[in-house]
Structure 1
Amino acid sequence: MSTRMYGRWERPRSAGFFGLTWGASMAGLGLVIAIMATFMTTRSLPLTGLSITVAAAIFVPLVITHNGRTGWEIAVLRTQYAMARSRGEQVYHAGRFSRIPGTARLPGLLADSRLSEYETAGGKRFAMLHIRRTDHYSVVLRVIPCGKELVDQHQIDAWVEGWGQFLAAQSRGGEVVAVTAVVENVVETRLKQRREVARLVRPDAPEFAQAVMREAAADVGGIGVRLEARIALTYRAIGKGRIRRDVAEQAREIGQRLQGVLSHLARAGLPATPLQAWEVIGLVRSRYDLASQRDVEAAGPDITTTQSWDTAGPVAHQDRWDHYCHDGARSITWEMDAAPRGAVFETGLEELLRPRADVPRKRIAIVYRLHSAAEATKLVDSDFRDALAAEQTERGIASASASLRVGNTNAARQEQARGAGLTRFGLLVTVSDHLQADLPGIEASVKGMTDASRLGVRRCYGSQAATFAASLGIGLILPEHTSISKRVSA
Structure 2
Amino acid sequence: MDTTATFVALGAAVIVIMTAAFAPKALLYFAPPVVAAGGLGLVRVNGVPVARLLATRIRWWWGTARRHTRYRAGIVVDHPRAFQLPGVLAPLTLLSAEDGYGGSYGVVWDRRTGLLTATLRVVPASTWLADRAEADTWVAAWGGWLASLGHLPIVRWVTVTVDTAPEPGSTLADAVNASLSPDAPESARQIMRRLVATAPAAAADVDTRVSVTVDPRRAASPPGDLTGAVGELGRVLDALASTLSGCGVSVIGRATAAEIAGVVRTAFDPDARGEVNRLLAGPKADSALGWCDAGPVFAAEHVGHYEHDGGVSVSWAWQEPPRQNVRSDVLARLVSPGPFAKRITLQYRAFPAAAASRVLQQEVNAAAFRSQFRRRTGRDETARDAWDAARARQAAAEEAMGAGVCLVSLYATVTVTDPGHLAQAAAHVEAAADTARIHLRRLWGGQATGFATTLPCGICPPELSRRLVH
With normalisation by structure 1, the TM-score equals 0.86
Q: How does 1:398-477 map to 2 (within 5 A)?
A: 399-477=382-460
- The separation in 2 between residues aligned to 1:49 and 1:381, in whole angstroms, is 43
Cα distance, 1:307 vs structure 2: 4.3
Tell me which residue corresponds to 2:146.
Answer: 167
Q: Which SS does the other structure have where 1:144 is aligned? A: strand
AA in 2 matched with 1:181 = V
- The separation in 1 between residues aligned to 2:236 and 2:317, in whole angstroms, is 31
AA in 2 matched with 1:375 = A
- The separation in 2 between residues aligned to 1:206 and 1:166, in whole angstroms, is 50
Matched, 1:338 2:320: yes
Could you give the per-residue CA deviations for residues 66-106 of structure 1, whole angstroms, max 9, x where no partner exists? 23322221121111111111111011100315797861111
Pick one of 53, 66, 79 that aligns with 1:87.
66
Could you give the per-residue CA deviations for residues 127-154 of structure 1, whole angstroms, max 9, x where no partner exists? 1111123321111111111123432111
- The separation in 1 between residues aligned to 2:402 and 2:182, in whole angstroms, is 54
Tell me which residue corresponds to 1:385.
Answer: 365
Partners of 1:296 and 1:303 within 8 A in 2: no
Matched, 1:29 2:10: yes
Q: How does 1:39-438 map to 2 (within 5 A)?
A: 39-41=20-22, 43=23, 45=25, 47-97=26-76, 103-197=82-176, 202=181, 221=200, 223-238=202-217, 243-272=222-251, 273-300=253-280, 302=284, 307-357=289-339, 360-394=340-374, 396=379, 399-438=382-421
- The separation in 1 between residues aligned to 2:389 and 2:466, in whole angstroms, is 32
Aligned-pair identity in percent equals 26
Unaligned 5+ segments in structure 2 are: none
Partners of 1:24 and 1:62 within 8 A in 2: no
CA 1:194–1:474 in structure 2 vs 1: closer, same or farther (change >3 Å)?
A: farther
Cα distance, 1:28 vs structure 2: 3.3
- The separation in 2 between residues aligned to 1:277 and 1:116, in whole angstroms, is 7
- The separation in 2 between residues aligned to 1:215 and 1:375, in whole angstroms, is 61
- Greater shift in the superposed pair: 327-336 or 193-202: 193-202
- The separation in 2 between residues aligned to 1:337 and 1:89, in whole angstroms, is 27
AA in 2 matched with 1:29 = L
- The separation in 2 between residues aligned to 1:351 and 1:240, in whole angstroms, is 39
Could you give the per-residue CA deviations for residues 306-326 of structure 1, whole angstroms, max 9, x where no partner exists? 742134111111111110001
CA 1:416–1:100 in structure 2 vs 1: closer, same or farther (change >3 Å)?
A: same
Could you give the per-residue CA deviations for residues 203-262 of structure 1, whole angstroms, max 9, x where no partner exists? 556767666666666666473322211110111124679954522111111212322222
CA 1:33–1:256 in structure 2 vs 1: closer, same or farther (change >3 Å)?
A: closer
- Greater shift in the superposed pair: 313-322 or 96-105: 96-105
Partners of 1:94 and 1:100 within 8 A in 2: no
With normalisation by structure 2, the TM-score equals 0.90
- The separation in 2 between residues aligned to 1:398 and 1:245, in whole angstroms, is 56
Cα distance, 1:415 vs structure 2: 1.1
Aligned residue pairs, count: 462
CA 1:117–1:97 in structure 2 vs 1: closer, same or farther (change >3 Å)?
A: closer
Partners of 2:153 and 2:219 within 8 A in 1: no
CA 1:101–1:159 in structure 2 vs 1: closer, same or farther (change >3 Å)?
A: closer
Q: Which SS does the other structure have where 2:147 is aligned? A: helix
- The separation in 2 between residues aligned to 1:241 and 1:426, in whole angstroms, is 28
- The separation in 1 between residues aligned to 2:143 and 2:190, in whole angstroms, is 44
Partners of 1:120 and 1:256 within 8 A in 2: no
- Greater shift in the superposed pair: 415-424 or 394-403: 394-403
- The separation in 1 between residues aligned to 2:261 and 2:250, in whole angstroms, is 22
Greater relative contact order (CA < 8 Å, ≥ 6 in sequence): 1
Aligned-pair RMSD on alpha carbons?
A: 2.7
Unaligned 5+ segments in structure 1 are: 1-13, 15-20, 486-490
Q: Which SS does the other structure have where 2:63 is aligned? A: helix
